[in-house]
């Protein structure tokens, strides 16, 4: 699926734009917050069906959060007001169709060469191109185009999830750079390789709470946010271990054994929240660093209802070692938005490796 998505997003590389990519070393750094999106689109199309489709696509809710938060924060920019400052935003989306002749649409069409416009007219399946560092270093720009508005809307509705995955991956790549700028806790990495046959990159700032041959828990606490990462390992028995009900049972088994709101209060152990009908625990198949995995998202709470929050976890097998791993990130941050916290935890989890992938 990833290979298809990558091909989809770069298939338009034959389309050329009227600016030059030379001089990137002199570009200013991209600005803006993680998750911010700036959509450059003609005002008439923004207020119409195309704007509605693009806006709803990138405002889809992030799964498994206790409060509604969209996966991205979308802002609209009139092409006529795209100034030097706005051009430096970290995530830019340009959207235009050739059947529009307004001033704003014509400005956007002016970004394309005559050859590229002919390609758009002749290829209804071509609708997206991504480029990096167009106006600023660290910037990601996406161009959505079509011969007609109806044509572009059809492509967005059938393939739009790939566009979300693209920007989500770019945000996590940026997070990875900033998280590990000061390095990682190498002692944890060495211990994991020797005792649990796996590895994960834990950035500075986390503290080791528990480590034994079946469970490791790392924690970062500040006055407003508690971020947690844990790794659990059990013998691999069958594919049934990937079923949602079995993953929840495994999670609850380790939470009840090791994770407490207050270790002095036996009833304060953590558990998976399965009684909120509008925020169910969800699972899906994913490719995690080339390995088959199941992603699980949902809410957790203390058994005595004293605290709770969201979690995201991944389950996978190391067949060579006969081990079944479940790695998770969860947070307690009741006074803060949690979208970017969860994206950060997911970035850390994305560094997890089983023995087959560990560099010897």
The CATH number of the domain where 260 resides is what? 3.40.1000.10
Phi, psi angle pair for 229, to nearest 5°: -130, 130
**306 and 243 fall within a common domain:** yes
> Residues 6 or more apart from 57 whose CB is under 8 A from it?
156, 160, 163, 164
pLDDT digits (tens, 9 = 90+) for 312-348: 999 999 999 999 999 999 999 998 999 999 999 999 9
Assess contact for 293 and 317: CB atoms under 8 A: no
pLDDT, position 231: 98
Residue 358: per-residue pLDDT: 85
pLDDT of residue 2: 36
Q: With H, G, I as helix, E, B as strand and everything else as coil, classify residue 18.
A: coil
CA dist 108 and 79 (Å) reads: 7
Element (H, E) at 273: strand 270-273
Examine the domain organization and report whether 108 and 195 are in the same domain. no
Question: What pLDDT digit, counting tens, does each position of 113-168 carry?
Answer: 888 888 889 998 889 999 999 999 999 999 999 999 999 999 999 999 999 999 99
Q: Identify the domain boundary among 152, 179, 206.
A: 179
Last residue of a domain, one of 117, 151, 179: 179
Of 137, 162, 179, which one is at a domain's C-terminal end? 179
- Which of 253, 278, 276 minimizes the C-alpha distance to 328? 253
Query: Quick one: 63 and 127 in the same domain?
Result: yes
Say if residues 136 and 29 touch (Cβ distance below 8 Å).
yes
Residues of the chain with pLDDT under 50: 1-15, 20
Are 141 and 210 found together in one domain? no
Per-residue confidence (pLDDT) for residue 26, from 0 to 100: 87
pTM (2 d.p.)? 0.89
Query: Which positions ≥6 away from 234 have C-beta within 8 Å?
Result: 214, 241, 250, 323, 324
CA dihedral 236, 239, 240, 242 (to 10 degrees): 90
198 and 232 within one domain: yes
What per-residue confidence (pLDDT) applies to 292? 97
Range list of H helices, 259-358: 339-349
| Predicted local confidence at residue 256, as pLDDT | 96
Same domain, 160 and 194: no
Question: Are 347 and 212 contained in the same domain?
Answer: yes
The one-character DSSP state at 239 is G
**CA 231 from centroid of its chain's CA atoms:** 20
Strand pairing report for 140-146 and 91-97:
parallel
Q: Specify burial of residue 314 (Cβ count, 10 A radius: 0-12, 13-18, 19+).
A: buried
The structure tokens 């696509």 sit at 57
- pLDDT for res 163: 95
> Are 117 and 132 within one domain?
yes
Q: Tell me, yes or no, whether 22 and 138 share the same domain.
A: yes
pLDDT of residue 32: 94
Residues 16 and 151 reside in one and the same domain: yes
Q: What is the pLDDT of residue 21?
A: 52
* C-alpha–C-alpha distance, residues 192 and 213, integer Å: 9
pLDDT of residue 153: 97
Distance of CA 97 to the CA centre of its chain: 28
How far is CA 258 from each of CA 214, 217, 218, 247, 349, rounded to the nearest angstrom? 11, 9, 12, 17, 19
Which ranges of 59-129 does DSSP label H, i.e. alpha helix? 103-109, 114-122
Number of domains in the chain: 2
| Same-domain pairing of 222 and 325 | yes
User: What CATH number has the domain bearing residue 155?
Assistant: 3.30.379
CB-based burial label for 190 (10 Å; 0-12, 13-18, 19+): exposed
Q: What is the pLDDT of residue 11?
A: 44
In this structure, the answer to whether residues 156 and 215 fall within a common structural domain is: no
Cα distance between residue 5 and residue 283, in whole Å: 21
Local structure of residue 72 (DSSP, 8 states): S
Rounded distance, CA 308 to CA 300, Å?
5
Residues of the domain holding 54: 2-179
Q: Please, what sign has the CA dihedral across residues 347, 349, 350, 353? A: positive
């Amino acid at each position: 699926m990833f290979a298809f998505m990558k091909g989809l997003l770069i298939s338009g590389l034959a389309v050329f734009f009227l600016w030059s990519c030379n001089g990137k070393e002199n570009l200013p750094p991209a600005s803006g917050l993680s998750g911010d999106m700036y959509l450059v689109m003609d005002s008439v199309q923004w207020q119409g069906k195309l704007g509605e489709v693009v806006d709803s696509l990138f405002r889809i809710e992030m799964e498994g959060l206790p409060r509604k938060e969209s996966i991205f924060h979308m802002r609209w920019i009139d092409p006529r007001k795209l100034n030097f400052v706005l051009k430096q935003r970290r995530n830019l989306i340009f959207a235009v169709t050739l059947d529009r002749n307004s001033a704003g649409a014509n400005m956007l069409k002016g970004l394309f060469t005559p050859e590229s416009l002919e390609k758009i007219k002749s290829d209804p399946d071509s609708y997206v191109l991504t480029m990096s560092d167009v106006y600023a270093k660290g910037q990601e720009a996406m161009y959505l185009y079509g011969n007609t508005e109806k044509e572009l809307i059809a492509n967005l509705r059938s393939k739009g999830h790939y566009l979300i995955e693209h920007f989500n991956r770019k945000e996590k790549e940026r997070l990875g750079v900033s998280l590990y700028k000061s390095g990682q806790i190498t002692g944890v990495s060495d211990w994991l390789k020797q005792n649990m046959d796996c590895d994960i990159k834990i950035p500075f700032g986390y503290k080791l709470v528990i480590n034994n041959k079946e469970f490791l828990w790392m924690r970062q606490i500040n006055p407003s946010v508690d971020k947690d990462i844990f790794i659990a390992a059990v013998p691999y028995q069958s594919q049934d271990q990937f079923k949602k009900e079995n993953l929840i049972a495994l999670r609850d088994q380790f939470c009840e054994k090791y994770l407490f709101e207050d270790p002095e209060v036996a009833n304060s152990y953590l558990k998976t929240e399965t009684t909120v009908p509008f925020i169910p625990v969800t699972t899906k198949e994913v490719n995690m660093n080339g390995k088959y995995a199941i992603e699980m998202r949902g809410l957790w709470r203390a058994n005595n209802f004293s605290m709770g929050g969201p979690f995201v976890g991944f389950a996978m097998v190391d067949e060579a070692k006969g081990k079944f791993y479940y790695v998770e990130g969860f947070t307690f941050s009741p006074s803060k938005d949690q979208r970017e916290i969860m994206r950060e935890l997911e970035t850390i989890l994305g560094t997890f490796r089983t023995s087959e992938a560990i560099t010897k």
